[in-house]
Structure 1
Amino acid sequence: MKAAARRAWRRLEPLHGMIYFVPEATRRYSELGLTGRSGYFASRSAPLGRASADVVIATFYNFCPDLVRRSMNAVWDTVTPEQVLQARHDAAAEALRRAGIHELPDFDATLDLARRAAESACEHPQGRPLFAAHATLPWPDDPLLCLWHAQTLLREFRGDGHVATLLTEGVGGPEALVLHAAGGDVPTPFLKISRAWPEDEWAAAEERLRGRGLLDGDTLSPEGKALRQRMEDRTDELALPAYRALGEDGCERLAELARPFGRRVVDAGLLNLG
């Protein structure tokens, strides 16, 4: 079932992930007086309440602390968590409607399966602080936002498990990014810009990984590939409490249904990393 659950999450994940890139979000955060990266950090941490920069550093894990502190400086003097959450929801609904997600066939069936998995995840909040905060939010009335909220819960559930795995393996924030970049999944310049680690700290993380035999030059060594696979496997295992409610057949069905949803998000340009 682990492979089916991973496919279900991965194929529907663009539905959640687009909120970090769409202009609707930038505009709505700007209307609240949030500029730069403040909108991102405030909106994702808002379920925690008036979270401090240190709490965001701890729960988001791989962002340079200086970036977080700059971005969170005086945020809660400018907006309330409730205001920024409303802006985030409004932006998500606007962007997904622009892509026509609500018009796709099998919308209701996809929502039913995703919500069942998300509600199952809510029965297992222990050790998952960022997820648990999101799980306290009420389910939206709008079915389109319900689907987005379901996948948001599943993403944060998986994300907290991944952080636990990184800690267990002794992989810090910058090391996790270097391994990710060396694996070729995400362009290195994007990770450097978005996480804002200074070049000397990025280089120091590379050296630490070379010292552990995990990098061969700028690419993963056999040991590095094995570590990354072990961490992904463990993350998949820790995500299973959510998807067990569906069973293997339900996970396979969700993975099948989710494919056009993720593809529509990508084709509509909602995940433009540029």
Structure 2
Amino acid sequence: MTDVQLARQSWRRLEPVHGMIYFVPEAAERYAALGLDAQAGYFASRSAAFGAASPELVIATFYNFHPGLVRKALPAAWDVVTPAQMIEARYEAADAALRRGGVHEVPGLAETTALARRAAERACEHPQGRALFAAHATLPWPSDPLLELWHAQTLLREFRGDGHVAALLAEGIGPLEALVLHGATGTMPTVFLKVSRAWPAEEWLAAEESLRERGLLAGDELTREGRALRQRVEDRTDELALPAYAALSDDELARLAELARAFGRRVVDAGLLSIGG
């Protein structure tokens, strides 16, 4: 059986390689060149694998953004750009940012890419119930090793993300409640979640009160029950991600986790995860 902790470690350490695309100026610059602001560019670029995605599809699959924020960007973006243009712009931005950060110079690129790709390709055998992942799985693999690694981690991230949404739904946690609970863990600044997801203050306060009534929050902190629920969600998310990492032996998975550390660290050290990084 695949080691759950090794699988989680591999994903977490390599995730900065994908996640930087939401922060680097290279992305905003390329979206602007096509006529979109950064916000519309985010929704259009991440959903472009669907084709000209409707706001309803994005609201459903991205899960925790205020619907009004999504509807402000879509479908208007598709009057300006095509999905193919957005996919190309996203790859160009990823390539430029990763090279600016020197990620292509990290030792072990070919080996790391090969291992991550095997996991991502195994994930492609399990698309059921994972709409956002399945859309990205239809995109062709880049030939460049650096972009190949970025695409592999993109697939692994969306595969895991779709499983995370399923785990939240199974626990009866809606999109705004998920954000409030996330903020209460202290792992992500609540102010960032409020600004980036754009839920009105009164709705945020109502969600907090609902969670207090459920015994999951006490003041602004998680209760014992709240911490237990968060742990159940994380554990279930880890379990649902395992089909991808089953492609690797435990030794190979440990090797991926070892190699991934240097790639994730390079992204962080280069400042690619900071706003405007």
Interval containing the TM-score (normalised by the shorter chain): over 0.9
Which residue in the other structure is 1:93 paired with?
95
Q: Does 1:40 align with 2:60?
A: no
Could you tell me which amino acid in structure 1 is paired with residue 253 of structure 2? C
User: Residues of 2 paired with 1:270 and 1:152: CA distance?
Assistant: 16
Which of 252, 255, 262 is the equivalent residue of 1:253? 255
Q: 1:224-243: per-residue Cα shift (whole Å, max 9, x none)?
A: 00000000000000000000
129-138 or 102-111, which deviates more: 102-111
Which residue in the other structure is 1:145 paired with?
147
Can you give the 5+ residue segments of structure 2 that lack an aligned partner in the other structure?
Answer: none
Question: CA RMSD of the aligned region, Å?
Answer: 0.8
Q: Does 1:12 align with 2:6?
A: no
Which residue in the other structure is 2:221 paired with?
219
Q: Does 1:228 align with 2:260?
A: no
Q: Does 1:105 align with 2:93?
A: no
Q: State the aligned residue count.
A: 274
Contact 1:36 1:71 in 2 (8 A): no
Secondary structure of the 1:158 match is helix
Which of 24, 27, 31 is the equivalent residue of 2:26? 24
User: Residues of 2 paired with 1:187 and 1:135: CA distance?
Assistant: 31
Which residue in the other structure is 1:83 paired with?
85
Following TM superposition, the consecutive aligned residue runs of length 4 or more in structure 1 with deviations greater than 2 angstroms are none
Contact 2:9 2:257 in 1 (8 A): yes
Which residue in the other structure is 1:67 paired with?
69
Which residue in the other structure is 2:59 paired with?
57
Q: Identity of counterpart residues, as a percentage?
A: 70
- TM-score (normalised: structure 1): 0.99
Which residue in the other structure is 1:263 paired with?
265
Secondary structure of the 1:37 match is helix
99-108 or 148-157, which deviates more: 99-108
Which residue in the other structure is 1:206 paired with?
208
Secondary structure of the 2:107 match is coil
User: Residues of 2 paired with 1:243 and 1:272: CA distance?
Assistant: 29
User: Residues of 1 paired with 2:241 and 2:234: CA distance?
Assistant: 11
Which of 125, 131, 134 is the equivalent residue of 1:123? 125
- TM-score (normalised: structure 2): 0.98
User: Residues of 2 paired with 1:72 and 1:203: CA distance?
Assistant: 27
